[in-house]
Amino acid sequence: MGAPYVSIKRLADNSLAAMLSAVEVYNKPQMTYRDEVTVMLVVNSWELALKATLRQKNRSIFYPKQRGERYRSIGIDDALGRVSASDLWPAGVDGPAVTANIKALTEYRDRAIHLYNAQGLAAVIYPFLQQNVLNYRDFMLAKFKKDLADSMTWQLLPLGATAPSDAVQFMKVDRNATMVVEVEEFINELRKLMDAAENSSGDMSRVATVYDINMQSVKKMSSADLVVAVSPTADGQVVVRKTDPNQTHPYSATELLNKVNMKRNGRDLSSYDIQAICWKESLRENAKYAWKHSNGATHVWSGDALSYLASLSDEHYESVRSEYGAQRRTNAGS
């Protein structure tokens, strides 16, 4: 007897339900075991979404059947591996970086399930959890045309009696402080995951995100380092993200080209290829991809730009090159 039938729609719908449940649990004002339950639901949500992605392409989501046993579906690690091996990550969603993000949460989940007391790790896991929700929204929208924002508002704000810890400082291991071995091991695992993503030229902005919440009137916000997103369905409420272009857009044009060539399949691209795509798709005008200081002469580029340019085929580049060349000849002759 063959493997059981699995509905792609049911997998995707259940995945979305799990993620919404995770957000709801996290934002409850009073709940014990909050972080552990949230992360378990988030990991489950991704496992279902990845399985739905595999089924879309008629890939198996089961291990080989053993005699006398039922079919067993693959777990999150194997699902991530199979999606990556089949090159099923959507354009603009960096596979290695998103994988590192999910694996960070999986590591936390595994420790919680096996009776490890994860209390105290909430501060370090939150940036990964926050970015995970954003990654998930982009993934589901690209793969299944399901927008998480259609089912929730983005004004949910965890408020507490104490300010959140600085994640960077938290992750620095102080050898002189009292720290249980498990906490140190967990932080070291996070470092390994982030190093692996960075070594594969992953978009590090997909791994973790830190938000600064500014409780002030929007009319006073004029700093160049603030990006304000106004929700069209939330009576003008705002979410403010403080950004540092050195982190969000770390690549010069030369570095971008080198990393794109390292990451993509196909011929090596030239600066002319990048110029052509930038002209055709107005990438320099898109803040998601490019940033230039008002007094600067050149643009710097983001991890999203790296992922997007690496995802384009040789045929697409050749087509745009031809169009770009024709446009330049027309302009030269006019």
321 located within any domain: yes
Q: How many domains does the chain have?
A: 3
Same domain, 101 and 35: yes
213 located within any domain: no
1 located within any domain: no
Same domain, 239 and 319: no
Q: Where are the alpha helices (DSSP H) in 57-94?
A: 76-85
Per-residue burial over 90-100, b if 16 or more Cβ lie within 10 Å, else e, is eebbbbbbbbb
293 located within any domain: yes
* Token output for 264: 């993509």
Give the residue among 93, 182, 170, 181 at the shortest CA–CA distance from 126: 170
**pLDDT tens for each residue of the chain, 334 residues long:** 577 888 999 999 999 999 999 999 988 878 888 888 999 999 999 999 999 999 999 999 998 888 888 888 999 999 999 999 999 999 888 899 899 999 999 988 888 777 565 555 666 778 888 889 989 999 999 999 998 888 876 555 454 444 444 443 434 444 444 445 666 677 777 777 877 777 777 777 777 765 443 333 333 322 233 333 333 343 433 333 445 676 678 889 999 999 899 888 889 999 999 999 999 999 999 888 898 887 777 899 988 888 889 889 999 999 999 999 998 888 887 6
Angle at 110 between CA 125 and CA 112, to 5 degrees: 70
Same domain, 200 and 282: no
The 3-state DSSP class for residue 90 equals coil
Same domain, 123 and 72: yes
Give the residue among 132, 123, 117 at the shortest CA–CA distance from 44: 132
Residue at a domain's end among 206, 230, 261: 206
Same domain, 145 and 35: yes
Instruction: Please enumerate, as own/partner, the contacts of 38-42 that have beta carbons within 8 Å and a separation of 24 or more.
Output: 38/129, 39/105, 39/108, 39/109, 39/112, 39/125, 39/129, 40/109, 40/112, 40/113, 42/18, 42/105, 42/129, 42/132, 42/133, 42/136
Same domain, 183 and 253: no
Which residue range is the domain that position 302 belongs to?
248-333
Same domain, 150 and 229: no
Give pTM, 2 decimals: 0.62
81 located within any domain: yes
212 located within any domain: no
Same domain, 225 and 313: no
Q: What is the pLDDT of residue 121?
A: 67
Residue at a domain's end among 148, 182, 206: 206
**Whether the Cβ atoms of residue 68 and residue 176 lie closer than 8 Å to each other:** no
Same domain, 162 and 270: no
Same domain, 92 and 23: yes
82 located within any domain: yes
Same domain, 103 and 150: yes
**Whether the Cβ atoms of residue 55 and residue 11 lie closer than 8 Å to each other:** yes
Same domain, 237 and 175: no
Give the residue among 272, 276, 277 at the shortest CA–CA distance from 311: 277
194 located within any domain: yes
- At position 44, the amino acid (one-letter code) is N
